[in-house]
């Protein structure tokens, strides 16, 4: 969740993929969906997180997100170098 939050805050631009081969994160996924339905998590933030149960698909998702990404440095929250 920390890596996903950092992504949403613009602290990095790396893809975030949850690999859940045994379904251990099912309840967490339900909670995130609930947060979205209640308005605590924006649709844009949900779009930053991908889930899969297969290693090969996780790697494909990462490759696809990297290929689609516009190469820009992450936002520094208004802090200039």
Look at residue 71 in the predicted model and tell me its pLDDT.
Answer: 56
What domains sit in the chain, N to C, each tagged with a CATH number?
Answer: 2-68 (3.40.50.450)
Is a pLDDT exceeding 80 seen at residue 3? yes
Question: How far is residue 28's CA from residue 45's CA, in Å, rounded to a whole number?
Answer: 15
How do residues 14-73 score in pLDDT, each as one tens digit? 899 999 999 999 999 999 999 999 999 999 999 989 999 999 999 999 999 888 875 555
Neighbours of 41 (CB within 10 A): 18
Question: What predicted TM-score, i.e. pTM, was given to this entire model?
Answer: 0.72
Q: Determine the pLDDT at residue 35.
A: 94
Q: Is pLDDT of 74 > 90?
A: no
C-alpha distance from residue 6 to each of 2, 14, 26, 72, 81 (Å): 6, 10, 22, 16, 19
C-alpha to C-alpha distance for 57 and 17, rounded to whole angstroms: 10
**pLDDT in the model for residue 70:** 58
């Amino acid at each position: 969740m920390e890596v996903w939050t950092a992504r949403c805050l613009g602290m990095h631009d790396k893809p975030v993929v949850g690999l859940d081969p045994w379904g251990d994160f099912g309840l967490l996924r339900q909670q995130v969906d609930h947060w979205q339905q209640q308005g605590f998590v924006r649709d844009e933030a949900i779009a930053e997180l991908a889930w899969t149960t297969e290693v090969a698909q996780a790697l494909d998702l990462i490759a696809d997100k990297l290929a689609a990404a516009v190469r820009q440095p992450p936002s520094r929250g208004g802090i200039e170098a």
